[in-house]
Amino acid sequence: MSTFSAKPADVQHEWYVVDAKDLVLGRLATRIATVLRGKHKAIFTPHIDTGDFVVVINAADVLLTGNKLDAKKYYNYTGYFGGLKSQTAREVLEADAERVIRDAVKGMLPKNKLGRQVIKKLKVYPGAEHPHAAQNPQSFPDYV
């Protein structure tokens, strides 16, 4: 008996849409990372992209528990001396709501070429509208 290994041509990529309104950021990010990576499928292969596309809507309405809105910091380094800029989660959520979800999911993916490929399948929008209606996205799976 040999071990099954999925081939890239065998993988069917589905599209899912998830409404982030009133969902906790960390719990949402783990479910998104699982679907992006393909771990919810029986044909999961660690070195092949078997995951699906995920469209996140209402990203501006995601919840952070405790005092993370004021205590959690997001850093950006410009590359110059004195160029380390920091913002609180509240400031980032108001200015760029997509970054909060994208950074949370990206931290749960592999730090290699496959992780960089997988994160491209995440589409995040601050409002309820998205331009991916032609792909017929399904509702997010509950079993993840």
Q: What is the pLDDT of residues 87-129, one digit of tens each?
A: 999 999 999 999 999 999 999 999 999 999 999 999 999 999 9
Domains present along the chain, CATH in parentheses: 13-64+94-139 (3.90.1180.10)
With beta carbons less than 8 A apart as the criterion, state whether 89 and 64 touch: yes
> What pLDDT score does 12 carry?
94
Identify the CA nearest to 74 among candidates 64, 128, 113: 64
With beta carbons less than 8 A apart as the criterion, state whether 71 and 64 touch: no
- How many whole angstroms separate alpha carbon 69 and alpha carbon 53? 28
> What pLDDT score does 128 carry?
95
Tell me how many helices (H) and strands (E) the chain has.
Answer: 5, 6
Provide, rounded to the nearest whole percent, the portion of the chain with pLDDT above 90: 94
pLDDT per residue of the chain (144 residues) written in tens, 0 to 9: 788 899 999 999 999 999 999 999 999 999 999 999 999 999 999 999 999 999 999 999 999 999 999 999 999 999 999 999 999 999 999 999 999 999 999 999 999 999 999 999 999 999 999 999 999 999 987 766
Average pLDDT of the chain is: 95
Identify the CA nearest to 126 among candidates 97, 92, 88: 97
